[in-house]
C-alpha cells in the first residue's frame, strides 16, 4: 500500500478548528503547526518599497496560517481533499489554502 505525506496549508485559520474536528471524525490524524507564507514574512521587512507593496496584496490582519502534515494511504487522498474543500471552499480562490502530497519511502510509529 503506497503511503503519501499530505501537506495542507490553511490560510483561512478561522476554519481550522472545524477542519481538524472533521478530519478526526473521518479517521485522519496528523500534526499541525503555525506557519506563515514568504510574502507575509517579506512584508514585515522594511528593506524595500517593493516588499512594502506586498502588504496591499495580503489579507488585512492575517499574519499566519496553519500547516497540517498527515501520512495516509494514497487511496484516502480524495476523501481528505473532499473534506478540505467542503470546509475551506474552492482552493483555486486566492488566500484559501493548498494541498499536496509527496511519496513516503518509510514510516514508523503511525497508527
C-alpha cell at 106: 518509510
Query: How much is the pLDDT for 1?
Result: 79
Over residues 28-54, the pLDDT tens digits come to 999 999 998 776 666 666 655 555 555
* CATH code 3.40.50.300 for 3-35+63-103: no
What confidence score (pLDDT) does residue 59 get? Answer: 47
Residues 76-84, mean pLDDT to the nearest whole number = 98
In this model, does residue 61 exceed pLDDT 90?
no
Q: Give the start-to-end residue ranges of the domains of the chain.
A: 3-35+63-103
Model pTM score: 0.79
* pLDDT at residue number 43: 62
> How many Å is the Cα radius of gyration of the chain?
16
Neighbours of 84 (CB within 10 A): 23
pLDDT of residue 33: 97
Q: With helix as H, strand as E and coil as C, how does 42-69 read? A: HHHCCCCHHHHHHHHHCCCCCCCEEEEE
Give the mean model confidence (pLDDT) for residues 56-78. 81
For residues 32 and 53, what is the distance between their CA atoms, to the nearest angstrom?
A: 30
Q: Give the model's pLDDT for residue 22.
A: 98
CB count within 10 Å of CB 58 equals 15
Amino acid at each position: 500500500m503506497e503511503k503519501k505525506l499530505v501537506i495542507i496549508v490553511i490560510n483561512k485559520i478561522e476554519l481550522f478548528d472545524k477542519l481538524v474536528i472533521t478530519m478526526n471524525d473521518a479517521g485522519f490524524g496528523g500534526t499541525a503547526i503555525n506557519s506563515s507564507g514568504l510574502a507575509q514574512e517579506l512584508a514585515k521587512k522594511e528593506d524595500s518599497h517593493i516588499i512594502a507593496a506586498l502588504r496591499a496584496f495580503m489579507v488585512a490582519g492575517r499574519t499566519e496560517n496553519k500547516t497540517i502534515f498527515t501520512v495516509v494511504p494514497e487511496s484516502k487522498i480524495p476523501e481528505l481533499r473532499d473534506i478540505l474543500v467542503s470546509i475551506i471552499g474552492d482552493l483555486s480562490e486566492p488566500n484559501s489554502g493548498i494541498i499536496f502530497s509527496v511519496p513516503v519511502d518509510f514510516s514508523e510509529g503511525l497508527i
